[in-house]
């Protein structure tokens, strides 16, 4: 029962321009799928609660931090169980889902300093 996050979690936030460039090159093929998913979610009922965690994860992988935060917020609000299952690897073990958004914001702020 470790309180440390996996090594692949927040270390994925780029800390330099070259890292960011590499990420955008290696994930370019994911962009069309992400755009398609966003359009699909936009066409379904406003109270639909599934899929936001997956979009958040896609944005994470693409380094789209603002969109990641938006979808993380929706995922936690709409379907906490799905958020835990899909996004839990990005957070310390045993962290309540309700704390995900604040934790990520804090970590992103640290990378900007």
Residue extents of the structural domains in the chain: 17-112
pLDDT value at position 47? 75
pLDDT value at position 16? 42
Query: Could you tell me how far CA 4 lies from the centroid of its own chain?
Result: 18
Query: Could you tell me how far CA 94 lies from the centroid of its own chain?
Result: 18
Instruction: Reduce the DSSP state of residue 1 to 3 states and report it.
Output: coil
pLDDT value at position 113? 78
Question: pTM for the full model?
Answer: 0.67
pLDDT, tens digit (0-9, with 9 covering 90-100), for 38-65 = 666 665 656 778 889 999 998 999 888 9
* Max CA separation in the chain (angstroms): 41
d(CA 78, CA 48): 8
CA angle 86, 20, 32 (to 5 degrees): 55
Low-confidence residues of the chain: pLDDT under 50: 1-8, 11-26
d(CA 3, CA 91): 9
d(CA 39, CA 97): 26
């Amino acid at each position: 029962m470790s309180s440390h996050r996996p090594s692949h979690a927040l270390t994925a936030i780029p800390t330099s321009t070259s890292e960011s460039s590499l990420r955008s090159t290696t994930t370019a093929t994911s962009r069309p799928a992400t755009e398609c998913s966003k359009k699909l979610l936009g066409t379904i009922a406003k109270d639909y609660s599934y899929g936001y965690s997956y979009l958040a994860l896609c944005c994470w992988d693409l380094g789209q931090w603002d969109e990641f935060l938006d979808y993380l917020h929706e995922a936690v609000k709409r379907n906490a169980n799905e958020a835990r299952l899909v996004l839990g690897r990005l957070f310390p073990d045993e962290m309540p889902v309700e704390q995900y958004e604040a934790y990520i914001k804090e970590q992103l702020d640290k990378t900007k300093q």
